[in-house]
Each structure stands twice: as structure tokens, then as C-alpha cells.
Amino acid sequence: MKAPLPATTLLLLSLLAGAGCSGSQDFEGECKRDSDCQSYQRCDTRDYRCICASDEACAPGEFCNASGSCQTKTSCLSNDDCTGQGVCDVFSGECIGPSACSDDVQCDIGQICEQGVCRLGCRETSDCDLMQKEICLDGQCRQGMCDGNPYCPFGQVCDLDSHLCTQPVEPHCLTGCSPTCELCGEDTSVGPCQNPANVCVRQDGETYCWVYCEGDEQCPAGYQCVPTTVSWSPLCESDSDCSDAPDPNDRVINVCDGTSGGQVVGRCRLNKQPCFNDADCYPFETHCQEGQCVFASHCRPPGGCN
């Protein structure tokens, strides 16, 4: 027969058992773990309460906020917050119909917002399809018209009165420097090209005009306003004719280069020297720019007419 437990041992076991029962009876939370909660909920172990884990746990028209509480939707942040084909108006924070608007930016290209609805039209050219070279004219986007030279084919200019691309009135050097305008004749001074500011240039045995400009916007489409450098050498029949430079910026090499075809008359060969100030250049309307004597700027295609 086993000896009975001491009285102190029995008392300790009784206290431990009592403590366990008392703790179980005092727990008042909804959950101890996520599995104790309903679908789309989780257990907040700070206060043992079931809270929402996603919008699916909330009633229609509500969303699960950062605190785990279902909150009534009073605004939208993106189109995903709207039902059906509704879109989110970020200005008012409300879901609106797909054709409704409160600002032009909510409409497609070629449309503007009028009286809360997107309608065909424009307020400025940026409202139109620039890839199709459309311009805004009389409140409508139009193709085949221009609002500046970049809208025109190469070598043409935009008539801002008719908004149509036309051939420039003044003669211009076109692709490859071919003379497509009236030749300016044997006189290669600055006068024959309709405007004294234009310059007549001879190249490849032909002559044509460079048109004066002060900026690219004055040139036809595909042209740039490029400074024109000046270099002039005297006529000669022999090397002895090439002793003095006509310009202190040009040093004549005592060689007379004959023209093609075996002609006697030629031009003295020059050794171009950089200029340091306007005094190093010709006295007639030239100035020193980046070490070169510049006559003026003229419209030329990039990489051509040099």
C-alpha cells in the first residue's frame, strides 16, 4: 500500500489547478488566432478582436482601412475604386460615367470637356493628334494644314494667314545645293538675289541664292539658320599676281589656281587664318565669330550648301 501524499503537496496541486481554471474563465476576447475569425478577417492579438483583412470582409460601399475597420467609401482614388465603366474623377474624388468629365485632361485626343461631357473639339494645338500633324483651327483639329514651318514638307514654309504650306517667295538652296530657283547670274556680289541681305553663291559651276535669316524659324522646313563665313581671293593669271592678301585675315600663297577647262584666269590660293576681332575681317558688314569672319547668317539644309 502506497504512503499518502503529504498535506503540503496536496495543497500545492490544488492551488495550481485552481489557477488554471480561473485563467480560462477570465478570457473575454473574440479570438486567439486568425482561424477563430470569419473569412477575410484576422485576429488582432493586441486586444484579441477580429478585424477586417481585406475589402471582402466589408459590406458593399465600404472598404477595409489601415486600422482594420470597415469604412464607408466617400471618394475614389483610382478607376479601380469605381464599378462598371465608371472612372474616378481625381478632382472631385467621385466616380463618374465614362463620357463624363470635369477637365480637358480626362478626354481623349481631339476632345475637350464641355458642360461635364467630352466632346470633339480643341482649345489649342496640343489638344490634337500631333503625330498626325493636326493643328487646332476654329475650335477643331485639322489635318493637312500648318501652324509653323515644321508642319510643312522639306523646303516649304507655312503661310500663317491661310495655314497652308507653300513654296517660299525668296529663292532657297534645296537638297544637294541644286539651283532650283532663278540663277543669280555671273555677278556673284550680294545684290542679285532679290534682297541685298541675301548672298549669291557659286558652287559646282552653278550659282544660287542663300537667303538671309536671324533664326531657324525664318527658314523653310528642314533648313537651319547658319552663319556664312567670308573668304575672297583675287583673280590671277600667274603666280606673280598673288603677292598681297586682300584681307589681313587671309594670307595669299603665291600660287594661281587656274579654273577648269584650261583657262588662264584663276584665283589666288589662300591660307585662311583665324580672326581675333572684327578688325581682322572685311570692312563691309562682317564680324569675327569663333575665329571666323562671318558675313551674316543664311538658311541652309543641315550638312549642305557649305
Each domain of the chain, given as residue ranges in start order, spans: 40-96, 149-229, 235-298
Alpha carbons 289 and 295: distance in angstroms, whole number? 10
- Please give the pLDDT value at position 178: 37
Q: Which tens digits make up the pLDDT trace of 89-138?
A: 766 677 877 777 888 888 889 999 888 888 899 999 989 998 888 999 99
- List, for the chain, all residue ranges whose pLDDT scores fall below the cut of 50: 1-2, 7-25, 174-183, 188-191, 245, 248-250, 260-263, 305-306
- Please give the pLDDT value at position 188: 47
Amino acid, res. 72: T
| CB-based burial label for 224 (10 Å; 0-12, 13-18, 19+) | middle
Cα–Cα distances (Å) from 161 to 27, 145, 170, 223, in that order, read 87, 11, 18, 22
- Please give the pLDDT value at position 9: 45
**216: which 3 cell numbers?**
531657324
| Partners of 222 in beta bridges | none
- Please give the pLDDT value at position 34: 92
Q: Which tens digits make up the pLDDT trace of 254-266?
A: 567 665 444 456 7
- Please give the pLDDT value at position 122: 93
Q: DSSP label at 212?
A: B
Phi, psi of 138 (to 5 degrees): 55, 40
- Please give the pLDDT value at position 285: 52
- Please give the pLDDT value at position 301: 72
The H or E element spanning position 145 is none
Q: pTM of this prediction?
A: 0.41
